[in-house]
């Protein structure tokens, strides 16, 4: 999301502490940022942020609403990760995006996993029909370490081979 702010030129009102020199339309920039962001939030969240006109205040409020680091949110994401399974025939990229998205959300909540653990976990999400592939990758991994990058590239290559 931060990248989008930089592309749109909305990064200054959010990430600057003080008004930069030469920015005469500072309040207009704040309103543009708020209007741009509000168009993407759900209706139930819009009720909480509709009156906010300061960019940093809006950003902070959205972080509070969406990125709560409570035990319940961590547990919910952890359960999603634990139950994540690849379904045969579906695009592997969809599975990888879902898996990585959950890992990223947990990381933001200060619950990060070692790269090797992530790679092994990804392999565990594959069905039993991938057992031969898992065994061959485990045996050929450098120093017996299946990194997340190795796991991702390997499953994508295997998906292509199977097609």
DSSP string, 102-136: HHHHHHHTT----HHHHHHHHHHTS-GGGHHHHHH
Mean pLDDT of the chain: 85
How crowded is the C-beta side of 42, counted as CA atoms within 13 Å? 5
> What pTM value is reported for the model?
0.63
Full DSSP string of 6-26: HHHT-HHHHH-SSPPTT-TTH
pLDDT in tens, 106-138: 998 888 899 999 999 999 999 999 999 999 999
Residues in the chain: 163
Is the pLDDT at 147 greater than 90, yes or no?
Answer: yes
pLDDT of residue 23: 59
* Token pair listed for 48: 């909480």
Please say whether the dihedral angle defined by the alpha carbons of residues 113, 83, 94 and 101, taken in this order, is positive or negative: negative
Alpha-carbon distance of 97 to 139, in angstroms, equals: 26
């Amino acid at each position: 999301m931060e990248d989008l702010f930089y592309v749109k030129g909305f990064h200054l009102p959010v990430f600057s502490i003080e008004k930069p020199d030469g920015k005469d339309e500072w309040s207009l920039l704040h309103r543009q940022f708020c209007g741009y962001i509000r168009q993407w939030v759900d209706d139930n969240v819009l009720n909480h942020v509709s009156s906010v006109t300061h960019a940093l205040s809006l950003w902070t409020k959205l972080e509070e609403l969406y990125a709560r680091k409570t035990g319940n949110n961590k547990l919910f994401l952890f359960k999603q990760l634990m139950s994540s399974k690849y379904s045969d025939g579906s695009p592997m990229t969809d599975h990888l995006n879902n898996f990585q998205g959950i890992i990223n959300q947990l990381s933001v909540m200060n619950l990060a996993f070692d790269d090797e653990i992530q790679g092994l976990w990804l392999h565990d999400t594959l069905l039993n029909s991938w057992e031969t592939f898992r065994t061959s990758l485990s045996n050929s991994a450098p120093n017996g370490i299946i990194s997340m990058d190795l796991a991702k590239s390997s499953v994508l290559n295997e998906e292509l081979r199977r097609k």
